[in-house]
Structure 1
Amino acid sequence: MASPLCAFLGCRSSYLRVFSVLMTKDLLRPTFVRGCERVPSRSYVVSTPIRYIDFKLDEKTAHSSLDLFKKDTAVIYRFLGIDPTKVPQNPERFREWAVVFGDTSVTSGKHYWEVTVKKSEEFRIGVADIYMSRDECIGANNCSWTFASVNKKWYAMLANKMAPVSNIGNPERVGLLLDCDAGTLSLVDVEQISVVHTIGLQFKGPVIPAFALWNGELLSHSGLEVPENLKEK
């Protein structure tokens, strides 16, 4: 498996080049590139666009270094993990990166969920096209949109480019607000119930909650109504 820290930051020179060309505004708007490699189709649950997304983590997609627990709402990273030959080699499973998807996709509407992040120092959370290549990591292509945290520093990440996120501190839990119709994904301060940073996204098909981590554990909280003061944002 490729080094996660290198994947997050790359060499120092390329890291600085990336930040020099990124927009300084809170909105990072990508251009969707056609030709995103697609895995064979499978049946995902599509949640209602009216109320909320309610999902569990999908074991069929989980890399062999990841274990699911708490009724498939949480994921823990194992350094050695499971021998890849000991897990079913279904086409939905991530093969190179420690990534797992949720089991429910959406195509429209506004959706909100939260993630307890206090037990991991290196992770990415966000959404991805359900058919993105299982040989890539979320945040490394134009088929996924993520917020990344490494060594207690937060970034908005797309196509391996990273923009720093400020005013987030060191939260134990964060929220994600996906507005499919507006084409945005926002990181939410769950204590203030306020948007910290917003990423612009363009997608062609269903998108799904996505998680990647290289130490510790993450716990997802779905089935939540969009907070009242975020409904019009």
Structure 2
Amino acid sequence: MAMSSGMAVFCRLTGRSLGAVLGHGRGKSLTARRWYITASSGNNVQFKLDERTAHSSLDLFKKETGVIYRMLGVDPSLVQDTPLRFRDWAVVLADTPIESGRHYWEITVKKSHEFRVGVADESTSRDECVGTNSTSWVFAFVQRKWFAMIMGKQVPVPLVGKPDRVGLLLDYEAGRLSLVDTQKNEVVHTIKTQFRSAVCPAFALWDGELLTHSGLEIPAGLQ
């Protein structure tokens, strides 16, 4: 069923919350190309969020390490339209692709009840939300529950309650992305896949704010 012009504008302004809108984007792929200056091939990846990829409802702060959701955001007509920017979904990517190694970063969650954290191919489609296609792998928090998401399929994750801070552990060669309970210093759930190209830390947000902490050592208990 075709979306009305009014609803289309609203979705673009609000970043199309998954809690209210189901289904995939139009499926247009971004032409694969290296559009970052550097790539991480060792450990202890350090990154900032890339404003060029951010949906217009997302504002970056604290030197591009944090992101806050704003209901109306910025008028899309006032935001530079580039192939890198997510158009329909409130998503932003980090500025450093990862192509090898084991890496760990954490996310502080403030006043958010619906968000996703994970990784995505640097050329993932800007017309789809992370977690709904074969080029992104995320952990989603919605309606006070956690899910692992690949190609739109949701697998419940047994992490109870609303988090204040979580960790992500990426093992590129092993094809493993793990959600980490930072209080217990243990892996809660692992997504297993095969990465075929460089991936970037990815974030989707429909309320509140997220603050990223990168450049961290992998905790001893997770080595």
The TM-score bracket by the shorter chain reads 0.7 to 0.9
1:4 aligns with 2:18: yes
Q: Among 207, 210, 213, which residue is 2:202 paired with?
A: 210
Q: Which residue of 1 aligns with 2:45?
A: 53
Cα shift readout 1:39-94 (whole Å, capped 9, x = no counterpart): 35243221132x31100000000000000001100001111010101011111000
1:171 aligns with 2:185: no
The 1:192–1:73 alpha-carbon spacing in structure 2 relative to 1, beyond 3 Å, is same
Count of aligned positions: 205
For 1:120 and 1:149, locate their aligned partners in 2 and report how far apart those are by CA, in whole Å. Answer: 9
After TM superposition, give the deviation of residue 151 of structure 1 in Å. Answer: 2.1
Question: Residue 191 of structure 1: SS of its match in structure 2?
Answer: coil
Which residue type is aligned with residue 19 of structure 2?
Answer: L
Q: Among 183, 187, 199, which residue is 1:191 paired with?
A: 183
For 1:142 and 1:36, locate their aligned partners in 2 and report how far apart those are by CA, in whole Å. Answer: 13
Q: Among 135, 150, 171, which residue is 1:143 paired with?
A: 135
For 1:3 and 1:110, locate their aligned partners in 2 and report how far apart those are by CA, in whole Å. Answer: 31
8 Å contact from structure 1 (residues 36, 143) kept in 2: no
After TM superposition, give the deviation of residue 168 of structure 1 in Å. Answer: 4.0
Question: Deviation above 6 Å: which 4+ runs of structure 1?
Answer: none
For 2:104 and 2:28, locate their aligned partners in 1 and report how far apart those are by CA, in whole Å. Answer: 26
For 2:129 and 2:165, locate their aligned partners in 1 and report how far apart those are by CA, in whole Å. Answer: 23
Moved more, 64-73 or 199-208: 199-208
Moved more, 117-126 or 40-49: 40-49
Question: Residue 110 of structure 2: SS of its match in structure 1?
Answer: coil
8 Å contact from structure 1 (residues 66, 81) kept in 2: yes
For 1:102 and 1:192, locate their aligned partners in 2 and report how far apart those are by CA, in whole Å. Answer: 26
For 1:78 and 1:93, locate their aligned partners in 2 and report how far apart those are by CA, in whole Å. Answer: 17
Q: Which residue of 2 aligns with 1:88?
A: 80
Question: Residue 123 of structure 1: SS of its match in structure 2?
Answer: strand
Question: Residue 4 of structure 1: SS of its match in structure 2?
Answer: coil
Q: Which residue of 2 aligns with 1:16?
A: none
Which residue type is aligned with residue 5 of structure 1?
Answer: G
Question: TM-score, with normalisation over the residues of structure 1?
Answer: 0.84
Question: Residue 214 of structure 2: SS of its match in structure 1?
Answer: strand
Q: Among 215, 220, 223, which residue is 1:228 paired with?
A: 220
Q: Which residue of 2 aligns with 1:219?
A: 211
Q: Which residue of 1 aligns with 2:71?
A: 79
Which residue type is aligned with residue 47 of structure 1?
Answer: S
Q: Which residue of 1 aligns with 2:97?
A: 105
Question: Residue 104 of structure 1: SS of its match in structure 2?
Answer: coil
8 Å contact from structure 1 (residues 175, 189) kept in 2: yes
For 1:197 and 1:163, locate their aligned partners in 2 and report how far apart those are by CA, in whole Å. Answer: 10
Cα shift readout 1:108-141 (whole Å, capped 9, x = no counterpart): 1100000012321000000000001101100010
For 2:134 and 2:158, locate their aligned partners in 1 and report how far apart those are by CA, in whole Å. Answer: 23
Structure 1 runs not aligned, ≥5 long: 12-34
